[in-house]
Amino acid sequence: MYILMQMNDEPIIPMPVELWSLFEMHAELCKALANEHRLAILHALGPGEMCVGDLAVALGIPIHKVSQHLRILKERMLVRPRKDGKTVYYSITNPRFIEGCTLIRQALVEQHQAAGRSLLAAELLDALRPPAGTPVG
């Protein structure tokens, strides 16, 4: 049996096989997030549930496109539907998904600022961000 050693003489421990199924799920979730419309939908749903029509108005995209994106987000268990009569409302399944997306956006802004570039979008997000202590999701 061979034990690989890193440059700092620490042994390299093989990754447990069980982690690969989690990485696969993570990759599938990232595929669902790899679309600006779906990210905008999640951002819009952060404060609370919305129906398809309201999401379409808020995002400025056609209802049929919102429905297509919601289907993908629902398949990946990022959003859940709730039917009230003929209206379907959608909400975030876990606020940590919103927190994760927010962290990524903050890191993007920090990188741009460190490179001496500013993002108008960063200022807009700050203006839209709820006050500290306000529950998200």
CATH architecture of 33-93: Orthogonal Bundle (1.10)
Q: How far apart are the first and last CA of the chain?
A: 50
Structure confidence by residue, pLDDT tens digits, 98-135: 999 989 988 888 887 887 777 666 666 666 555 444 54
Residue 2 token pair: 């061979």
Instruction: Identify the burial level of 80 via C-beta atoms within 10 angstroms of its C-beta, where 0-12 means exposed, 13-18 middle and 19 or more buried.
Output: middle
Structure confidence by residue, pLDDT tens digits, 49-68: 999 999 999 999 999 999 99
Domain segments of the chain: what residues?
33-93, 94-130
Q: How far apart are CA 98 and CA 44, in angstroms?
A: 10
Q: How far apart are CA 110 and CA 75, in angstroms?
A: 32
pTM of the model: 0.76
